[in-house]
Chain A
Amino acid sequence: MRLSNHPILTFRRGEKISFFFNGQPLEAYLGETIAASLHAAGIYHLSDSAEKHRARGFFCAIGQCSSCMMLVNGRPNVKTCTTLVKPGMVVESQQGKGQLPLWNNGK
């Protein structure tokens, strides 16, 4: 849920866009981080921990704690609390530690 009336702040939101969370289309506004857009949509459980598979959400929202990491456009371990949402972005809950993208070793 987004705030509309605030006694002090006025929120200037960017253009309304849509992105995907685990295949489900969601609305967001440009300028929001992925984690903020998900939170506004009521999604707090972002990924599962690699070993004990416990639910993971964000904690610090400033890119320090690594609790909010998800798979974004196929790339693992993206800090969704500081990465801005983009139109059509494919955001998925991450299971396991994730694989680094393969580099073309001189090929």
Chain B
Amino acid sequence: MISTRKDIAAAIAANRFGLGARPGELSAVERDPQDWLVRQIKGAPPVLTGQGLKPSSETLAKAIELRRQGAEEKRSKKNASDDEVQVATALKLPAIYRPVYVDEVHARFAHSITTERPFLERLTQFWTNHFAVSIDKIAVLGLAGAMEREAIRPHVTGHFTDLLMAVEKHPAMILYLDNQASIGPNSRAAKFVGRRGNGRKADINENLAREILELHTLGVNGGYTQADVTTFAQAISGWSIGGQDNSRRLARLGVDNGTPGEFLFREVFHEPGARRLLGKSYADDGVKQGESILRDLAMRRETARHVCTKLARHFISDDPPATVVDRMTRAWLDSKANLPAVYRALIESSEAWERPLAKFKTPADYIYSSYRALGIPLREPRRSLQAFEALGQRNLMPGSPAGWPDTSADWDGSSGLLKRIAWADVVAQRMGDSRNARDLAPQLLGATLGEDTAKAIGRAESGSQALTLLLASPEFMRR
């Protein structure tokens, strides 16, 4: 049981575990801060709503159709090169994908600044970052937001196994890490690919398999080898997307091309054979082979420890206490990766309630908490999202499958700090005298509000300057 003073615990619950207190929230949280968190991870997660949200399969089907038209065009214009058609298609794709992306991240932003279950939202975005796809790869620009809604949100309060399975089969992940193009050299399709005479030969692409082992499950020191990566890549070869391959050769084989935009196990791409991975044998049984491996990976101690360490680092401190990680790992293994059990082990650890303000906020945290703090109204989507770009954390664009980094040193650069202050000042000027920083400060920071900050706010020369000081204060920069 935690022994932290209730008023400090309330500030920790709302700011460290949540997305930042809203005015009036702390007094409600203070009654039982731990219970306030536990209640948020009970029951089905909310379904995100908003203008323009549609299934990823619908968006992807449009992209696939675009490519099919491109291929047709190429056939009609005999002398058009591969590159020309590819470029023409590539130019049209963002026109389909960009508005979808804007609608997705705007809906997510709107939800983050109003949700009554901010802890659950933090967890959701933690998982999205754990299973990162980055929209600087155009192929996922229109799909990344939908991946969070379709593969992550439904499983945040479920089992890690289901979450893992849903993510690795999601078209966004498959495309991001090139698995749709992984073709076993001994698969049935290999013979056709080799015959095209364009120098291309069928082979495994190990990108997805490697990142599943290194980033999503075991962790880089999880005891696997290059040979394991290759074996696993063979096992998931054929994990693909429906409608993608429109080659007539495969059609003649009578191959099922699936539903456009949805997961499809392309048996003809799959490298046949039984295989052994990390001491276990897996029969030659098609898609089930990869699924069994994923299920086993989810239950391994290395996976539990790797993911629990990341969770503890995300919520508690850059170097989380080993005792907490141990407890979470045990909860993971005992509960068969039931995520709420793991979350409870985190929030029931007394260490999680010590040292308030131990984490430096990421830019996204900073923006969410500012919006919640001042009740800043959302503007039209493109403008609202500029803040993330200005502060250096563009939505769903961490730039690599490792996701955004998660320690102070990654975010506390001098230029980054000045950008926050400059942004806070613009926001404060926009809000003008409509918010009273002196009243707000104790409501937002509670018992963590320091004397220096309270004094500086009190002495400010204008209402908007007081708001700037509140948002720029050391207490508000951290959580």
Chain B binds chain A? no
Interface residues of B (CB under 8 A from A): none
